[in-house]
Amino acid sequence: MRVFNRIHFRNLRGDIFGGITNAIVSLPIALAFGVASGLGAVSGLYGSICVGFFASLFGGTPTQISEPTGPTTVFMTAIIAATVANNPENGIAMAFTVVMLSGVFQILFGLLRLGKYIIMMPYSVISGFMSGIGVILIILQIPPFLGHEAPKGGLIGTLQNLPQLLAKLNPVEVGLAVLTMAVILLMPYRLKRYFPPQLAALIIGTVVSFTLLHNFDLRRIGDIPSGLPSLYMPTFTPSQTVQMLIDGAMLGMLGSIDALLTSVIADSITRTETYEDQELIGQGVGNLVAGLCGGIPGSGATMGTVINVQVGARTALAGLVRAALMLSIVLWFADLAENIPMAVLAGIALSVGLEMLDWNFLKRAHKVSWKSCLIMYAVLLMTVFLDLMVAAGVGMFIANLLTIEQLSNVQAQQIKAIRDADDSIPLNLEEKELLNLAQGRVSLFYLGGPMSFGVAKAIAKEHLSVKHCDTLVIDLSDVPYLDETAAIAIETAIKDSQEKGSQVFIVAATGRVKHLLENIGILNLVPRSNLFIERVDALKQAVIVDGSLIGLQTG
């Protein structure tokens, strides 16, 4: 495993341009997510700088841009609300400690080489999960969009207070937020290629607030501390340590999923290959430093990554340039952002929430499969009203069960017990003749394809359908994989046949299949003379009577 990301200077112009472009794109999003988290704009800026720099330096996806994203911001908002409610004095420091823990867990995920497993999720789960986070982000932006401070209680509190928020909305701030969203959503595509719509909305909204709306008292970002950040040391309390560890693991998992999904998108565009485990380490270092510096967590940002590739970036140098430019903004130009209206940031964050909704799959999920549709909407609702990671876990569990059922049904079709020539099993002419000569005294028990635990019941069922015979030939010629559950089912079939007086032959128990059968002790149930490599040899032995083959011309 390498230490640093892939960096070279053969694409210097494209990488520098990518870094500059993404610094401009990231600024309004970092401000909006920092405010949305409840920690303030400066936390969004330092989260964007720290995660962006260290994920680019130590990560495994050269073109990935990392910064605070919708999923990590939504989860961080819930963590802050919980820690502050339980410990008002140290709640903020404890929330940043959770961010550090999430980074530690991500580093462990990478060191344990879990990257390839983290994103093995059905699309219906991913779609429902991301759309649910989009819904949460939209709901949380309703109060600032309407000109109010966020009510207590987070998402549920916002929904409960929605009638009062609507009754007392601030029409000026609503109009400014609507203008911001209109600029983002209606900006012509040809202009988006040259100027980020979020930045255009930020500038236009701020200019309008100082010109056409200068007579109105608008809520603005306020003081943004310039200079280097204050460091937050890890803070724990005995009563909350376990919960903080759980939250850190869940936030780390959420950020890992988000980052690796973005890496997949980057790979598909650039035709490169991500080092998943290295990427997790880079993301972990970034979030660890972000927590120390008082920044909100982040992960791979799809929009920033795609823009990065489109403008010509090809190495991690672009991410480093972007982070350096954003740091210079915080150090020397932070006062320029202090007068940005809160309504403008709410409009930017709400538009991000709308973009997170998987409209493409939402419109056609019912056409794909009612099961996929049900899983997607169940994950969406659980994400919004229950818990993000519980929703992902339950969705994956149900989706995997359905997948196992479907694969098991397909595998079960390759389990057959026959007594005569049957076209459903690939037999050659000699094998068919041997089965016909046996006149029902030999049963060929054929298994084809990978045999997992899902087909154990099918093996038992097919064996029970076999009537008494002199010899049972268990054919494993076409079985590349066998797990212990299916092996135990085969063992039961062998013992049952032997108890009924039948002799058992086993064909083509080789490689990993043979190794498993030997370890479990199944091959010890039959004499070595009853083990065959070729099916035809087993059938010849099975049909011998009085030392000769009945009716078979041997020449």
3-state secondary structure 475-502: EEEECCCECHHHHHHHHHHHHHHHHCCC
* Spatial distance between the Cα atoms of 259 and 477, rounded to a whole number of angstroms: 42
Nearest to 476 by CA among 513, 523, 512, 423: 513
pLDDT tens digits for 276-297? 999 999 999 999 999 999 999 9
Give the SS3 label for residue 245. Answer: helix
What pLDDT is stored for residue 423 in this prediction?
64
Q: How confident is the model at residue 153 (pLDDT cuts 50, 70, 90)?
A: confident
Q: How confident is the model at residue 1 (pLDDT cuts 50, 70, 90)?
A: low
Angle between helices 91-111 and 276-292 (to 10 degrees): 160
What pLDDT is stored for residue 555 in this prediction?
37
In the 8-state DSSP scheme, what is residue 288? Answer: H
Give Cα 473 to chain centroid, integer Å.
45
Q: Which amino acid is at 183?
A: V
Helix or strand (DSSP H, E) at 324 = helix 317-332
What pLDDT is stored for residue 547 in this prediction?
42
What pLDDT is stored for residue 238 in this prediction?
86
Examine the domain organization and report whether 353 and 419 are in the same domain: no
**pLDDT over 70 percentage in the chain:** 97
More confident residue, 284 or 121: 284
Residue ending a domain, choose from 326, 357, 388: 357
241 is a domain residue: no
Q: Are 35 and 23 in contact (CB under 8 A)?
A: no
Examine the domain organization and report whether 343 and 419 are in the same domain: no
In this structure, is the dihedral angle defined by the CA atoms of residues 488, 492, 493 and 497, taken in order, positive or negative?
Answer: positive
What pLDDT is stored for residue 548 in this prediction?
44
Q: What is the dihedral of CA 183, 186, 190, 191, to 10 degrees?
A: -10
How far, in Å, are 466, 494, 548 from residue 64 at the CA level?
Answer: 58, 55, 72
Residue 487 lies in domain: 413-549
Per mean pLDDT, which range of 204-208, 308-312, 377-381 is the poorest? 308-312
- Which stretches of 333-437 are assigned E, i.e. beta strand? 415-418
Average predicted confidence (pLDDT) for the chain? 87
425 is a domain residue: yes
What pLDDT is stored for residue 14 in this prediction?
87
Give Cα 186 to chain centroid, integer Å.
31
Residue ending a domain, choose from 357, 389, 421: 357
Examine the domain organization and report whether 316 and 441 are in the same domain: no
Examine the domain organization and report whether 66 and 177 are in the same domain: yes
List the structure tokens of 216: 């109105």
Nearest to 455 by CA among 465, 463, 466, 467: 463
Answer whether residue 88 shows pLDDT above 80. Answer: yes
Residue 479, domain CATH: 3.30.750.24
What pLDDT is stored for residue 554 in this prediction?
39
**Counted domains in the chain:** 2
pLDDT tens digits for 478-506? 899 998 999 999 999 999 999 988 899 99
In the chain, what are the helix, strand and coil shares in percent, each to the nearest 5?
65, 5, 30
Range of 185-194, 201-210, 359-368, 458-467 with top mean pLDDT: 201-210
Q: How confident is the model at residue 97 (pLDDT cuts 50, 70, 90)?
A: very high
Answer whether residue 552 shows pLDDT above 60. Answer: no
* Spatial distance between the Cα atoms of 48 and 34, rounded to a whole number of angstroms: 9
Nearest to 314 by CA among 64, 83, 47: 64
More confident residue, 146 or 306: 146
Answer whether residue 550 shows pLDDT above 50. Answer: no
375 is a domain residue: no
List the structure tokens of 385: 């009203």
66 is a domain residue: yes
In the chain, the N- to C-terminal Cα span, in Å, equals 64
Q: Are 58 and 3 in contact (CB under 8 A)?
A: yes
For the chain, state the CA radius of gyration: 31
- If you average pLDDT over residues 97-106, what whole number do you get? 97
540 is a domain residue: yes
Examine the domain organization and report whether 289 and 424 are in the same domain: no
Examine the domain organization and report whether 115 and 183 are in the same domain: yes
Nearest to 318 by CA among 4, 7, 3, 2: 7
Helix or strand (DSSP H, E) at 54 = helix 41-58
Give the SS3 label for residue 66. Answer: strand
Examine the domain organization and report whether 198 and 322 are in the same domain: yes
What pLDDT is stored for residue 532 in this prediction?
92
Give the SS3 label for residue 511. Answer: helix
> Tokens 């389990």 identify what position?
415
DSSP string, 438-464: HTTSEEEEEEES-B-GGGHHHHHHHHH
191 is a domain residue: yes
372 is a domain residue: no
Residue ending a domain, choose from 322, 357, 392: 357
Examine the domain organization and report whether 205 and 112 are in the same domain: yes
Examine the domain organization and report whether 353 and 420 are in the same domain: no
Q: Which amino acid is at 145?
A: F
* Spatial distance between the Cα atoms of 282 and 107, rounded to a whole number of angstroms: 8
Examine the domain organization and report whether 91 and 196 are in the same domain: yes
pLDDT tens digits for 200-259? 898 999 999 999 998 888 998 887 777 788 899 999 888 889 999 999 999 999 999 989
What pLDDT is stored for residue 45 in this prediction?
93
Residue 387 CB burial class (10 angstroms; 0-12, 13-18, ≥19): middle
Examine the domain organization and report whether 417 and 308 are in the same domain: no
Examine the domain organization and report whether 178 and 302 are in the same domain: yes
Residue 543 CB burial class (10 angstroms; 0-12, 13-18, ≥19): buried
Helix or strand (DSSP H, E) at 67 = strand 66-67
Burial 279-304 (b: 16+ CB within 10 A, else e): bbbbbbbbbbbbbbbbbbbbbbbbbb
398 is a domain residue: no
Give the SS3 label for residue 402. Answer: helix
Per mean pLDDT, which range of 148-157, 320-329, 512-521 is the poorest? 148-157
